[in-house]
């Protein structure tokens, strides 16, 4: 692993008001797994978009196997042996899995017809490599987030690339899927393929990576062997300071007295079965379970995004009918979705437009939208949530993942929401931004708001919840108090061991 296969020299890229990359140097060796670390906005994804030809107006030079290359498009990157699996899926929902994997490369017979039999067979082989047992004809829109992630990996494998970039590939995967991903990575490594691995899960870096490069504020901070650095060293390199206070803030003491919401015998055919629980004022209620346990489906059903067959919901002791998200919003509910880019934000809108969109009446004068009132309202939440941006006029798509998440929280606070459903609130967010989100959650609790938090990260659920409800196959299998919470106890209920069945 001594041969340098990739070298990026003095890479620079600027956006209006932001220097995204500032003379960044990066190199990776043949057959190694090289971690690329940094806070959201540090420049990781921007650097990889330069490598993949998505960004072409950059400064600096790129060398692959010692030769200078001009990567001017994703196609030229693929021709140079580079594939990238983006954090935001690059799939066409209306096409099949096979069509997505071979999009632009559909091959045919001598008669000029597309050879679908061969394409489907090749797709099956690729899906087998990533442990995905689905029909190649399945439409992408019918897949789960985790299944889409594995299709992206299969697509990258189809190019037989020498350099594969994986941008947060594990964010949506279960333990078994993650183990399978690591097996794929080790197989690639043994075949001389270089994997550039971007992740905010530090434990993964120590498990599978050989080398690490840390970026901060668009600059290269450190490159070394993973053996030469520890967890604290990575965090300090990323945030530029020691995390002496730990990764989680101290939680305020909560008295579980007043019940703000009560769910009784909620059912949805083949999805949710006889769900009953209570949420208290000023409480963070953790919702744990494996992927597919029904956690997201439960909060969507309560929020009116999905229809329920039976059951009742009470807010402050009064039964309410919630047929759609509008009803939920009127009753003080907010849903921060797992997929913030597709469902939480209008990416082409500004920060201020995204924040005000939930309650336009608050910024209207005589029936007309007041730009001045909108700007003042946005300024309050930009300041309160510490959103890093040159201006509230900045488009949401130009923000880092952590700041995008804060905008989504801001829009629901602007709507005066009292009950917040946070579905994977720190997914794809670096350790520094996570801490800020946790502090925001604590402040909301102090203000008397209530939170139901879904998280696949057990340390997060345990550290931030006052109580934890564990789901399995659409049912609540157990409730755990904060004092009794442990990864082992949560997993007992999550996998539904016989004593908890």
What is the average pLDDT across 447-467? 91
Split at pLDDT 50, 70, 90, the class of 318 is very high
Q: Which of 22, 432, 12 is nearest to 219 (CA)?
A: 22
Q: Identify whether the C-beta of residue 482 lies closer than 8 Å to the C-beta of residue 286.
A: no
Give the CA distances from residue 445 to residues 51, 285, 313, 410, 459, in Å, rounded to whole numbers and listed in that order: 43, 11, 22, 15, 20
Query: Per-residue pLDDT tens for 324-346?
Result: 999 999 999 999 887 777 777 88
Q: Is 408 helix (H, G, I), strand (E, B) or coil?
A: helix
What's the pLDDT at 212? Answer: 97
What's the pLDDT at 172? Answer: 66
What is the average pLDDT across 430-454? 87
Does the pLDDT value for residue 500 go beyond 50? Answer: no
Does the pLDDT value for residue 305 go beyond 50? Answer: yes
Split at pLDDT 50, 70, 90, the class of 162 is very high
Domain 4-239: give its CATH code: 3.40.50.300
pTM recorded for the entire structure = 0.62
Does the pLDDT value for residue 492 go beyond 50? Answer: yes
What's the pLDDT at 469? Answer: 95
Residue span(s) of the chain under CATH 3.40.50.300 come to 4-239, 255-332+418-426+450-501
Does the pLDDT value for residue 1 go beyond 70? Answer: no
29 or 146, greater pLDDT = 29
Quick one: tokens of 203? 């434990």
Q: Are strands 467-472 and 310-315 parallel, antiparallel or unpaired?
A: unpaired
Most confident of 38-52, 119-133, 461-475: 461-475
Split at pLDDT 50, 70, 90, the class of 111 is low
Query: Per-residue pLDDT tens for 256-289?
Result: 889 999 999 999 999 999 999 999 999 999 999 8
> How buried is residue 250: exposed, middle or buried, by Cβ count under 10 Å (0-12/13-18/19+)?
exposed
Helix (H) or strand (E) holding 414: helix 401-414
> How buried is residue 233: exposed, middle or buried, by Cβ count under 10 Å (0-12/13-18/19+)?
middle
Q: Identify whether the C-beta of residue 453 lies closer than 8 Å to the C-beta of residue 287.
A: yes
Please provide residue 103's backbone torsions phi and psi, each rounded to the nearest 5 degrees.
Answer: -60, 125
Most confident of 160-169, 196-205, 470-479, 481-490: 470-479
Least confident of 258-262, 440-444, 493-497: 493-497
Q: What is the DSSP string of 325-386?
A: HHHHHHTTEEEE-S-IIIII--TTSBHHHHHHTT-GGGGEETTEE-HHHHHHHHHHHHHHTT
Most confident of 43-47, 178-182, 221-225: 221-225
What is the average pLDDT across 394-405? 83
Does the pLDDT value for residue 501 go beyond 60? Answer: no
Does the pLDDT value for residue 389 go beyond 90? Answer: no
Does the pLDDT value for residue 452 go beyond 80? Answer: yes
Fold of 255-332+418-426+450-501: Rossmann fold (3.40.50)
What's the pLDDT at 243? Answer: 58
């Amino acid at each position: 692993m001594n041969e340098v296969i990739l070298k990026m020299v003095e890479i620079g890229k600027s956006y209006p008001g932001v220097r995204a990359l500032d003379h960044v140097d990066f190199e990776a060796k043949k057959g190694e797994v090289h971690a690329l670390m940094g806070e959201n906005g540090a420049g990781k994804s921007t650097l990889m978009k330069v490598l993949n030809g998505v960004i072409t107006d950059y400064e600096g030079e790129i060398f692959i196997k010692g030769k200078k290359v001009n990567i001017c498009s994703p196609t030229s990157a693929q021709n140079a042996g580079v594939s990238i699996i983006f954090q935001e899926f690059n799939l066409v929902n209306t096409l099949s899995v096979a069509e997505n994997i071979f999009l632009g490369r559909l091959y045919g017979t001598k008669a000029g017809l597309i050879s679908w039999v061969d394409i489907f067979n090749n797709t099956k082989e690729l899906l087998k490599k990533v442990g995905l047992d689905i029909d190649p004809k399945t439409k992408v829109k019918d897949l789960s987030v985790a299944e889409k992630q594995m299709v992206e990996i299969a697509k990258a494998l189809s190019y037989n690339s020498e350099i594969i970039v994986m941008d947060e590939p594990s964010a949506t995967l279960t333990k078994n899927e993650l183990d399978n991903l690591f097996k794929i990575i080790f197989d690639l490594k043994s075949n001389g393929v270089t994997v550039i691995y971007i992740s905010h899960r530090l434990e993964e870096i120590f498990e599978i990576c050989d080398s690490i490069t840390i970026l901060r504020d668009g600059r290269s901070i450190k490159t070394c062997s993973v053996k030469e650095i520890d967890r604290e060293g990575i965090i300090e390199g990323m945030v530029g300071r020691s995390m002496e206070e730990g990764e989680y803030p101290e939680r305020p003491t909560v008295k579980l007295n007043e019940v703000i919401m009560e769910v009784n015998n909620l059912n949805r055919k083949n999805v949710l079965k006889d769900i009953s629980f209570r949420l208290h004022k000023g409480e963070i209620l953790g919702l744990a379970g494996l992927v597919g346990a029904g956690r997201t489906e439960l909060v969507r059903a309560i929020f009116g995004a999905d229809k329920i067959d039976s059951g009742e919901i009470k807010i402050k002791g009064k039964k309410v009918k919630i047929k759609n998200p509008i009803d939920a919003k009127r009753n003080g509910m907010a849903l921060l979705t797992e997929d913030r880019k597709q469902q939480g934000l209008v990416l082409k809108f500004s920060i201020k437009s995204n924040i005000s969109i939930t309650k336009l009446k608050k910024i209207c004068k005589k029936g007309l939208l007041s730009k001045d009132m909108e700007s003042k309202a946005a300024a309050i939440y930009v300041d309160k949530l510490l959103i890093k941006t040159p201006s509230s006029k900045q488009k949401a798509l130009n923000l880092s993942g952590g700041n995008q998440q804060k905008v989504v929280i801001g829009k629901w606070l602007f709507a005066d929401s009292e009950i917040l459903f946070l579905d994977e609130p720190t997914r794809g967010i670096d350790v520094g931004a996570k801490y800020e989100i946790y502090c925001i959650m604590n402040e909301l609790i102090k203000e008397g708001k209530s939170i139901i938090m879904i998280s696949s990260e057990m340390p997060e659920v345990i550290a931030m919840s006052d109580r934890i409800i564990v789901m399995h196959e659409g049912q609540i299998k157990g409730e755990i108090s904060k004092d009794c919470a442990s990864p082992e106890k949560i997993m007992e209920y999550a996998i539904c061991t016989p004593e908890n069945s």
